[in-house]
């Protein structure tokens, strides 16, 4: 329940932020005004001793969130994808949050499996390891199937996490409302919308059937991608609180020494990981939204294996075409066309000057293209691009924010494998191929065929629709009666009912 009782929980939260040194960082990120700062200080300072100490080796913001527990850690992870809300500096800090929490007991894990899958534990698995990873919402075990001996990964939600999440989300909503009331300037950052977005993301992760579905769709989309694997979902061993996937055996893609020792070509891996991401985003419109080193392995045969599908991004076909044209325009240094695409898509208001916008884009692109190949960064370009479009009145688009954040992460993975890779040369063939497939004559014919199919569905209904339109044309509806008259009649009726009730009650007494 969202109410004043949440004040006590927020005081404990504020005390932890104050004790860990994260309070000023958070207030600065949200551009809090003097009234909000004074209010927070007055509420929190006397209770500073109630705050958790946290891990002093971590940066202040992750230190506070880790100390406060799973829901706060997940909140920090989600905010790390929204530099438009918290600022780039705080977003970078939040990206260091690690999914390394104390695991829950093996007894609870086995009880959850038996309850969810409806079968004795020993009939399902012949072996079941201690947790190999303990995250904010769930933990993972390695197991072997009792019937086939196949190695699998079993992901299990933390006991009581739904109740704990609901308790914390109520406090988050209460805090967001207080921030909007005490600091009107913060409303442009939409604190309530941020919490609503966070609630939607986590509620999806609290039902592992949805993550299983995402993994299955991603596997189907990428089945033909050379050098890429997605563990298959074992649906008969998955439920709302349990998910079972094939075990991903390989070397962590972030450990260069181990990759070298295994004989893998890191330059080839760097190229492949970037091109795979662009293919998934542009070709499929469905991409892994958390492709950091911890979620990628390299198999013995050199294939890249992706896992953990809690955060996935989806882009509609029109947005993909716009995004590809923007990238292609930058690759060709055609800044005028990049500007026109922004206006055609409605990203920049029509009252802005397209030529002036093109000049601003040139100021973004030219310095980057003048860099050494090892310093050229598509992620930096996207960051600068969003800064420019914001100045020209472009509204924030959540799907592009996730795309930008994932591009930053993927580029970081590629750079860690090959510091001298030329991002543009690697991206160019993927973008060019998508442009040919989606914007050329063949794409036009496909679009016309698709439009014809959609219109044909309404063919049988056309006579009825035409008849209804003619009837409405020949018999226009009567003008609506004034609202005041309706309101007066409603009040008179209510008064009559009350008067009748009063007379009846008087007679009874």
Q: The domain containing residue 64 runs over which residues? A: 6-98+162-204
Q: Is the same domain home to 309 and 325?
A: yes
Q: Is the same domain home to 79 and 111?
A: no
DSSP code of residue 281: I
Q: Residue 292 is encoded by which pair of tokens?
A: 């950091």
**Distance set, CA 272 to CA 258, 279, 416, 423 (Å):** 18, 10, 13, 12
pLDDT score at 166: 81
User: Cα 488 from chain centroid?
Assistant: 50
Q: Is the same domain home to 83 and 232?
A: no
Q: Residue 329 is encoded by which pair of tokens?
A: 């325009």
78 occurs within a structural domain: yes
The number of distinct structural domains making up the chain is 3
Q: Residue 206 is encoded by which pair of tokens?
A: 């609290």
174 occurs within a structural domain: yes
Which tens digit of pLDDT belongs to each residue from 345-369? 888 888 888 999 899 888 877 876 6
Residue 142, beta-bridge partner list: 153
Full-prediction pTM beyond 0.75?
Answer: no
pLDDT score at 491: 47
Q: Which of 290, 316, 372, 447 does the annotation list as catalytic? A: 290
Rounded CA separation 344/357 (Å): 13
**Of the candidates 366, 367, 337, which has an alpha carbon nearest to the alpha carbon of residue 354?**
337
Q: Is the same domain home to 181 and 128?
A: no
Q: Is 118 left (phi over 0), alpha (psi -120 to 50) or beta?
A: left
219 occurs within a structural domain: yes
486 occurs within a structural domain: no
Domain containing 217 — which CATH number? 3.30.200.20
To the query of whether residue 290 is one of the catalytic residues in this protein, the response is yes
Q: Is the same domain home to 263 and 198?
A: no
* pLDDT mean for each 10 residues of the chain (509 residues): 63 79 72 69 70 82 82 76 65 68 89 94 94 88 95 94 82 77 61 75 84 95 94 95 94 92 94 94 90 90 92 86 82 87 85 89 76 62 68 67 77 86 83 78 68 70 75 72 51 44 40
Q: Is the same domain home to 128 and 175?
A: no
Q: Residue 321 is encoded by which pair of tokens?
A: 């075409």
Q: Is the same domain home to 188 and 211?
A: no
Of the residues 170, 204, 238, the one at which a domain ends: 204
């Amino acid at each position: 329940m969202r109410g004043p009782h949440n004040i006590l929980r927020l005081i404990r939260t504020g005390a932890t932020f104050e004790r860990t040194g994260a309070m000023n960082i958070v207030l600065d990120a949200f551009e809090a005004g003097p009234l909000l700062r004074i209010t927070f200080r007055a509420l929190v300072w006397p209770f500073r001793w109630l705050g958790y100490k946290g891990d002093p080796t971590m940066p202040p913001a992750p230190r506070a969130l880790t100390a406060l527990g799973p829901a706060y850690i997940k909140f920090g992870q989600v905010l790390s994808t929204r530099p438009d809300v918290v600022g780039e500096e705080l977003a970078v800090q939040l990206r260091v949050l690690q999914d390394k929490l104390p695991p829950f007991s093996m007894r609870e894990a086995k009880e959850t499996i038996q309850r969810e899958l409806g079968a004795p534990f020993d009939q399902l698995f012949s072996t079941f390891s201690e947790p190999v990873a303990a995250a904010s919402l769930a933990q993972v075990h390695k197991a072997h199937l009792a019937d086939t001996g196949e190695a699998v990964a079993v992901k299990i939600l933390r006991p009581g996490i739904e109740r704990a999440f609901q308790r914390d989300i109520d406090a988050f909503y209460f805090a967001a409302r207080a921030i909007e009331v005490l600091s009107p300037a913060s409303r442009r950052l939409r604190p309530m919308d941020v919490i609503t977005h966070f609630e939607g993301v986590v509620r999806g992760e609290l039902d592992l059937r949805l993550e299983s579905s995402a993994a299955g769709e991603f596997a189907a989309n990428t089945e033909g991608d050379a050098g890429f694997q997605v563990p298959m979902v074992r649906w008969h061993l998955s439920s709302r609180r349990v998910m079972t996937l094939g075990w991903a055996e390989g070397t962590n893609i972030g450990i260069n020494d181990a990759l070298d020792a295994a004989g893998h070509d890191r330059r080839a891996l760097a190229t492949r990981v970037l091109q795979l991401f662009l293919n998934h985003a542009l070709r499929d419109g469905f991409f892994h939204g958390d492709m950091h080193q911890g979620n990628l392995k390299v198999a013995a045969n050199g294939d890249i294996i992706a896992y953990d599908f809690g955060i996935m991004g989806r882009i509609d076909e029109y947005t993909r075409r716009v995004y590809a044209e923007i990238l292609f325009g930058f690759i060709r240094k055609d800044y005028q066309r990049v500007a026109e695409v922004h206006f055609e898509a409605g990203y920049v208001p029509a009252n802005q000057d397209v030529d002036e916008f093109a000049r601003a884009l040139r100021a973004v692109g030219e310095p980057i293209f003048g860099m050494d190949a090892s310093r050229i960064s598509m992620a930096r370009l996207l960051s600068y691009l969003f800064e420019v479009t914001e100045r020209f009145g472009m509204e924030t688009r959540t799907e592009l924010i996730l795309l930008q954040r994932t591009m930053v992460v993927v580029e970081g993975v590629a750079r860690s494998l090959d510091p001298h890779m030329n991002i543009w040369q690697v991206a160019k063939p993927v973008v060019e191929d998508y442009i040919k497939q989606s914007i050329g004559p063949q794409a036009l014919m496909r679009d016309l065929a698709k439009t014809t199919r959609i219109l044909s569905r309404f063919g049988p209904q056309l006579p009825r629709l035409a008849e209804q339109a003619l009837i409405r044309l020949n018999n226009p509806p009567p003008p609506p009666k004034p609202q005041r008259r309706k309101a007066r009649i409603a009040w008179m009726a209510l008064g009559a009912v009350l008067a009748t009730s009063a007379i009846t009650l008087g007679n009874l007494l």
